[in-house]
Amino acid sequence: MTLPADKHLATALKTTTQSVKNWENGRSEPKSPRLDAYQRLLNGWAAKYPARGSALAVTPAAASSEPGASEVEMADIPQALTVPATGLARPATRPAAPSRRPAVKKTAAAPVLDPRFPHGPLAVLDGDGSAYCAGGIVLDCPARTVVELVEWTLREAGLGAPKLNRYGKDSDPLIVLTAAAAARLGLPERLQDRRGLRLDEDHPVVQQISRAKWQLTQRGFGPWPRIYRKAQGRERQCVQLAILPWDALDSRAWPGVADMAPADIARVLGVYAQRVITPRGSTAVSGLELMTALRPPTKPVRDERTGNWISSHNPGSLGTEPMDPAPPEATPEHPVVVHSGWSGGFLNEEAYQWVRDVDLLSDEECLLPYTVGLDLNTAFLAAAARLVVGLSAPEHFHAPQFNPKIPGSWLVDLSHIELDPRLPSPFTPDGTRPDGPAWYQTHTVAYAQELGYDVHPIEAYLRRETGAYLDPWHDRLKAAYMDTLADLGVTRDLSDAQFLAAMERHKDVDPALAAVLSAIKATVKGGVGKLRERPQGRHYRDGETWPALARPTWRPDIRAAVISKARVNMHRKLLNMSRMTGLFPLAVLSDCVVYPSPGASPLDFLPYAASGKPQPGAFRLGPTPGLAKLEGVQEMAWAVDLMEKGLNPARHIKGGDAVLDEGE
């Protein structure tokens, strides 16, 4: 309840108006000696003016008779002060310090908190023991060691998040450590092991954890350590830490977040946790964890023989056991390849890196003044929508008849297909024409059929059990992306001109939410990349296993399906654009395409119907995944100069050097 006298009461108690509001609505409680004065006020008012309904009417005379508040302080309290009769919040909480971020109109609805986790999914711990939670609450954390921090988190902090699927698990609480908090807990300012990125086994903090009978995962104590004990019954005992001075929040995925005030860091990560998942590591790790959280590998079923509940395979999931890929789907160093002596070639389903031959530029194109870059919104996410993938082990077939509904890998010769050389080939990442039989994912072969060509596979590795495994992952990330864009002023109802204007300023509307948007996009690409995580470390030798292979989510065939579909989607739009407008791209880099243009805006060359509506099938502007936004504008001479040097204009059109993330 908002009180008309908040400002005067705050002045009397030497605090802020927002702090008083937080006390009154039960979100936090003052600390002594302010708590004592506040309680004396409440008790005195309650004794002199009994409650009517849910509030007490208070006069200045009554208030001024209360000990502990001076006459000068009480003189400013107006006649109409009302105070709720409800109790105060738990004593471990207090209001957050004012943020350095300017006030922004909040458009997102506040999440409904699970009563088991009253303070949300995470907290950002600072050096003075203040633990900043999502939603503005600050807890007082007395911990001076990592072990004390873990035990406080599990027993007192009220942190965590409910499961995303009925068969899943609740998210463990996350504690983010600022540099000052890390120092307070005895952690070094910088990790000495720059290759392994973890504390040595003999470090006092690691030994302290072991002595207290807590355990670390195989990753050890690095930027994202997980500290746990084996579950007691149904109660999980696990805390995730993120250590900011050890670069836990990569600036490419979380731009500017590590340098924000703790309350703002809690806000950014809290929104991400609410809309995506409580972070468990890098955005790539979180992207992969989200797949499993939404499609848990097991579910409980009743054993008809004993009547007991047992764990059983959850249909539509990837199960609990890792699955070997077919040899052409694996990487050259994979044990399946090395130990079998496979020499039959590999899938090469990667994102585009193509530049048109400069000799194929026409005089008319060279005379156009501008080049305009279009970027497809979360192209991999758009490709994941309704994507049917294999769920069972691959089976080998000789001379099968092609079926576009069966996910798998097909050996087929597409070298006879001749397309306009001003477009990249849809069958290869570098856009060159295939020179003989090669392995392709189902979507690539299906597109050859769509273009009107016969395909006759030589052999194939196919999967009988199939499903749209990524559907819930796509749906949750799409909603997160769209909701965050909407909070930044970019909504579906904007005209194309309004959309371009909104995108130009959206990052300045609220830098915190802009960082959330960046993290969501990184979660998509990184999650897809983790499906084929390669071995790391200088001591690795070909043919050895590596940790990622132990995961059921090590599935290079699913990664190939996403990228194949994304590349085919891109080519389909390129082809339709050439048919509708006569325009051909200068270059493509993953989800960015550069076109010559008579003006400095996409509106100057994109196809529109007489009614003003965008033509279906070509590139269209808009915030939805798969639609396009402006990437950058440069002069045509600039692009031609780069092309003559063998460089890709799509990499540089935004200014600087674009990072190509091919899902690795």
**In the structure, what pLDDT confidence band is assigned to residue 658 with cuts at 50, 70 and 90?**
low
How confident is the model over 241-263, as a mean pLDDT? 97
Give the pLDDT of residue 85: 31
Sign of torsion over alpha carbons 488, 493, 495, 496: positive
Give the pLDDT of residue 90: 38
Give the pLDDT of residue 14: 61
- Pick the range with the lowest mean pLDDT from 52-61, 310-319, 600-609: 52-61
Residue 661 has pLDDT above 90, yes or no: no
The pTM score is 0.83
Residue 243 has pLDDT above 90, yes or no: yes
Give the pLDDT of residue 234: 66
Residue 511 has pLDDT above 70, yes or no: yes
- 598 within 8 A of 605, measured Cβ to Cβ: yes
Task: Report which secondary-structure segment, H or E, holds 565.
Answer: helix 556-581
Encode pLDDT of 185-221 as tens digits.
999 999 887 777 899 999 999 999 999 999 999 899 9
Give the pLDDT of residue 197: 85
More confident residue, 89 or 505: 505
- Give the strand pairing for 130-133 and 628-635: unpaired
How confident is the model over 351-359, as a mean pLDDT? 97
Alpha helices in 65-128 (DSSP H): 71-74
- Pick the range with the lowest mean pLDDT from 93-97, 213-217, 447-451: 93-97
Give the pLDDT of residue 541: 95
| % of the chain exceeding 90 in pLDDT | 77
Encode pLDDT of 522-533 as tens digits.
999 999 999 999
The residue among 207, 229, 203 whose CA lies nearest residue 217 is 229
Residue 295 has pLDDT above 80, yes or no: yes
How confident is the model over 335-347, as a mean pLDDT? 97
Q: The tokens 């989510």 sit on which residue?
A: 553
Q: How far, in Å, CA of 501 to CA of 504, rounded?
A: 5
**364: number of CA atoms within 13 Å, CB side?**
3
Residue 129's contacts (CB-CB under 8 Å, 6 or more residues apart) are: 140, 141, 142, 143, 184
**Residue 8 DSSP SS3:** helix
- Give the strand pairing for 235-243 and 174-177: parallel
- 596 within 8 A of 368, measured Cβ to Cβ: yes
**Residue 429 DSSP SS3:** coil
- 101 within 8 A of 512, measured Cβ to Cβ: yes
Encode pLDDT of 362-404 as tens digits.
999 999 999 999 999 999 999 999 999 999 999 999 999 999 9
How confident is the model over 614-631, as a mean pLDDT? 97
More confident residue, 551 or 82: 551
Number of Cβ atoms within 10 Å of the Cβ of 174? 25
The residue among 168, 173, 167, 165 whose CA lies nearest residue 116 is 173
Give the pLDDT of residue 428: 98
DSSP 442: H
